[in-house]
Amino acid sequence: MTSELDLIRPDWPAPDRVRAASTTRLGGVSQPPWHSLNLGTHVRDNPQYVTENRARLASELSLESAAFGWLSQVHGTDLVTSPVDGIPEADASTTTQAGQVCAILTADCLPVLLCDRAGTQVAAAHAGWRGLCAGILEQVVASFTAPSAEIIAWLGPAIGPAHFEVGQEVRDAFMAVDARAAEAFSVSGARPGHFMADIYSLARQRLEKAGVSAVYGGDLCTVSDPQRFYSYRRDGQTGRMATLVWLEP
């Protein structure tokens, strides 16, 4: 088991004071089936291991543990402005304060980071299919003081289109909001009445409709890389990775 954190640094043209990272499962102390850098407190892992893992992450990023704005994610559309007291039920956070970290936990759902080109505001969103369909990304874009044309986004590791099989009801839900969503679904060859969904394409569509055309990332599949990523759909009981964004002073 490696002791080094394997961090993904988003490849996007963010301003210098915008910092971002996405963790993998490597570099922590958790034991199977959460091995090893599990950052989720809600997945029945040993709390002491999670505390150590979070401390390692904070140290790696030269941040204080108190800077991380962890959320209790519920697949909804609520957004909070960081910093907040406690651990609010929300699926997105935003901040204009330097040193405050917007953090999202995932293990197949899509993490989305956003910032404005001036480097004055950042945000992170947990975009599972329910939240994505209900408008979580539109909520985040609307929270920016900058016009949407001045916002850029990065799509982090998530379940890829070759593995995200969904029922007719999921396709219908997206189609009811935007008929273009049909482009992100293909008929599943495995089960009649099911479709393969491209959550990256769906997110790009929703961001574009909200006025954000500068979208990066969207090429890391959690299911197909068990050595590097947690995947709830693949493994069931598993850990959680974090996708983070913050402003430097």
> Could you tell me the residue ranges of all domains in the chain?
7-158+212-247
pLDDT tens for each residue of the chain, 249 residues long = 445 899 999 999 999 999 999 999 999 999 999 999 999 999 999 999 999 999 999 999 999 988 999 999 999 999 999 878 889 999 999 999 999 999 999 999 999 999 999 999 999 999 999 999 999 999 999 999 999 999 999 999 999 999 999 999 999 999 999 999 999 999 987 788 899 999 999 999 999 999 999 999 999 999 999 999 999 999 999 999 999 999 998
Report pLDDT for 3: 56
pTM of the model: 0.95
Contact between 103 and 93 (Cβ < 8 Å): yes
Give CA angle at 144 (159, 184), nearest 5°: 30
d(CA 88, CA 86): 6
> Among 2, 18, 218, 228, which residue's Cα sits nearest to residue 112?
218
**Region 7-158+212-247: CATH code:** 3.60.140.10
> Among 93, 54, 90, which residue's Cα sits nearest to residue 74?
90
